[in-house]
């Protein structure tokens, strides 16, 4: 990508810090879930020894962040069985399994998610049915939020995509004008989905995480720091995510 140089690595004991130089004014240090990978983005002319000195000064903070990720609550892998806990828009529901002899479908009421399936449906197929249902819920929820923020931000999202993403909550292709959203977001409160959408749409204004990008978030979504913190504090799934 233009404006970014090849990644280098600083090793401080048992901690590896991945350094990139970008067209930014200040150093940005981040610790990413799920395992606490550390990245440092520095201005283009920053010498590696200067970046190293900065990282050393922040070593206690890095270890604190990594410890928080280690102790953060995690969901056990779902088996899609009777009375198993499942989350939707930040609320906990019990899963109910109902055997039928027609096309499978999912029904939601105020206490439970009912998975209507044929007898002997495999766990993999159950997971697929629930995932497709999750996508249908997101397809109902995402377009109005995009329309709302297109007006506010003065940008246009040409397309959006929903998919399982192993390392991100969302992403933006600035040149193509599209955004991608992790289907796991259906499990989180809707205001956190909205934050991720705004975050990715802000990249249509500024592709990097520089001061201009932060200024856009501060202006249009002033509670973004709190939303990001809440997103990172909620229980992690068996595969875990970060926001890029």
The pLDDT of residue 23? 82
| Share above pLDDT 70 across residues of the chain, in percent, rounded to a whole number | 88
Domain ranges for the chain, please list them: 8-71, 85-233
The answer to whether 120 touches 101, Cβ cutoff 8 Å, is no
**pLDDT > 90: what percent of the chain?**
67
At 56, give phi and psi (nearest 5°).
-60, -40
User: What is the pLDDT, as a whole number, of residue 229?
Assistant: 79
pLDDT tens-digit profile of 147-185? 999 999 999 999 999 998 876 889 999 999 999 999 999
Q: Give the per-residue pLDDT at 3.
A: 44
For the chain, give the mean pLDDT.
88
The answer to whether the pTM exceeds 0.85 is: no
pLDDT beyond 90 at 139? yes
State the pLDDT confidence band at 2, using cuts at 50, 70 and 90.
very low
Tokens of 150: 């297109």
For residue 37, give both structure tokens: 């990978």
Question: What CATH fold (topology level) applies to the domain 85-233?
Answer: Zincin-like (3.30.2010)
Give me the pLDDT at residue 28, please: 86
Alpha-carbon distance of 10 to 230, in angstroms, equals 29
Residue-level pLDDT at 1: 39
Q: Which of 3-7, 65-69, 143-147, 225-229 has the lowest mean pLDDT?
A: 3-7
b/e 80-119 (16+ beta carbons within 10 angstroms → b): beeebebbebeeebebbbeeeeeebebeeeeeebbbbbee
Q: What are phi and psi of 13, to 5 degrees?
A: 65, -120
pLDDT of residue 50: 93
4-56 residue pLDDT tens: 445 689 999 999 999 988 888 888 888 876 678 899 988 989 999 999 999 99
Least confident interval from 26-40, 86-100, 113-127, 209-223? 26-40
pLDDT at 166: 72
Which of 191, 203, 184 lies closest to 242, judged by CA?
184
DSSP string, 76-137: PPP---TT-EEEETTEEEEEEEEE-SSS-EEEE-SSEEEEEE-TT--HHHHHHHHHHHHHHH
Instruction: Please check whether residue 93 is in contact with residue 85, taking contact to mean a CB–CB distance below 8 angstroms.
Output: yes
């Amino acid at each position: 990508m233009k404006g970014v140089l090849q990644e280098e690595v600083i090793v401080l004991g048992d901690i590896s810090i991945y350094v990139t130089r970008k067209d930014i004014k200040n150093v940005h240090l981040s610790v990413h879930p799920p395992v606490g990978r550390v990245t440092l983005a520095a201005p283009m002319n920053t010498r590696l020894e200067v970046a190293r000195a900065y990282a050393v000064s922040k070593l206690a903070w890095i270890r604190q962040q990594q410890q928080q990720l280690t102790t953060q609550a995690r969901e056990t892998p779902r088996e899609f069985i009777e009375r198993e806990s499942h989350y939707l828009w930040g609320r906990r529901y019990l899963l109910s399994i109902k055997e039928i002899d027609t096309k499978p479908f999912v029904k939601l009421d105020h206490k439970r998610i009912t998975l209507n399936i044929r007898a002997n449906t495999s766990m993999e197929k159950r997971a697929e049915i629930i995932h497709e249902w999750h996508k249908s819920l997101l397809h109902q929820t995402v377009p109005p939020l995009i329309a709302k923020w297109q007006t506010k931000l003065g940008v246009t999202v040409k397309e959006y995509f929903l998919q399982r993403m192993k390392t991100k909550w969302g992403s933006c292709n600035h040149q193509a004008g599209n955004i991608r959203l992790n289907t796991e977001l259906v499990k989180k409160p809707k205001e956190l989905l909205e934050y991720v959408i705004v975050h990715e749409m802000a990249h249509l204004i500024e592709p990097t995480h520089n001061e201009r990008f932060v200024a856009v978030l501060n202006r249009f979504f002033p509670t973004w720091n709190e939303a990001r913190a809440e997103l990172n504090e909620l229980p992690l799934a068996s595969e875990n995510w970060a926001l890029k």
